[in-house]
Amino acid sequence: MASRPVFRPSNEYPYVTEELVEFQWHAGFAASQKQKSVQELHTRIIETHLGVNPLEVSSKSLLELGVALSAFNLMVELPNGKVVALENIFQAAKIFQHGGPFKDLLQVSPLDAKRDVRLKASGDLTGFQGKEGVWPLEPKTLFYDWIYLNALHRNQALVDEIQGFDSFTDIEFNPSKSFNCQARSLALYLSLFKAGRIDVLLKDSKSYQDLFNASSNSRDKIPTQQSLI
């Protein structure tokens, strides 16, 4: 047995619900084994009424949509016209005690960017370099969510397709080892989209940061234009 979180949109802070789901794990490194595990996970999500139409968001997804939404495949056009994967942007933005940001990571493959030895050998992570300035480490997923939301919002075809799904998973994500998760970011996007807030928030990073910094204390609801349930 194994467990993975399922993420769902919510209209209350942190605008995403997270539930651990136990399921039958299929051992092995082959993609086919991971996909069997995804099927087991989604069956349990449906059986436990945590979702009706779950979507795996990773390169191991059984659907092309889920693969396209992976940070390794979700592409962003930079101001200079270069198109890079979201994963490259995230890794290239990291600032450490003894180095970074390593902007040359925008020039390599997403896998090479993630595995670059400097990311492990430069001391503690201290922040992220965005075009708006340096982003803090808290709330923990603040910067990753921001770049994911922006990347997704620029692709209307993907935005249209995700509307039919109500729960999201990433079979590769282990919450005991990391914080950021593309499935969580996708659930957050749907929360803000259905609340009618996504356009306003993405125009101003300060409004976005203020929402999450303030809400972490007040737990206020998002003013919704329609039900998120």
Instruction: Encode pLDDT of 14-60 as tens digits.
Output: 999 999 999 999 999 899 999 999 999 999 999 999 999 999 999 99
* Residue 105 and residue 48 in one domain: no
Residues 6+ apart with CB under 8 A from 116: 91, 102, 105, 108
Answer yes or no: is 66 within a domain: yes
* Residue in the structure block whose two tokens are 């396209």: 68
Residues 6+ apart with CB under 8 A from 59: 31, 67, 70, 72, 73
Answer yes or no: is 129 within a domain: yes
* Residue 166 and residue 69 in one domain: yes
* Residue 169 and residue 68 in one domain: yes
* Residue 9 and residue 65 in one domain: yes
By the 8 A CB rule, do 169 and 213 touch? no
Answer yes or no: is 150 within a domain: no
* Residue 33 and residue 51 in one domain: yes
By the 8 A CB rule, do 21 and 45 touch? yes
Q: What is the pTM (predicted TM-score) of this model? A: 0.92
* Residue 202 and residue 95 in one domain: no
* Residue 181 and residue 202 in one domain: yes
* Residue 79 and residue 29 in one domain: no
Answer yes or no: is 12 within a domain: yes
Surface-to-core class of residue 110, CB atoms within 10 Å of its CB (0-12 exposed, 13-18 middle, 19+ buried):
buried
* Residue 69 and residue 98 in one domain: no
- Res 135: pLDDT: 97
- Res 50: pLDDT: 98
Total structural domains within the chain? 2
User: In whole angstroms, what separates CA 110 from the centre of its chain?
Assistant: 15
* Residue 68 and residue 166 in one domain: yes
* Strand 167-169 relative to strand 54-56, pairing: parallel
List the domain range (segments joined by +) for residue 48.
2-73+162-218
pLDDT tens readout for residues 28-39: 989 999 999 999
CA dihedral 185, 186, 189, 190 (to 10 degrees): -140
Answer yes or no: is 154 within a domain: no
pLDDT tens readout for residues 160-189: 999 999 999 999 999 999 999 999 999 999
* Residue 62 pLDDT grade (very low, low, confident, very high; cuts 50, 70, 90): very high
* Residue 58 and residue 168 in one domain: yes
pLDDT at 219 over 60: no
By the 8 A CB rule, do 202 and 153 touch? yes
* Residue 124 and residue 186 in one domain: no
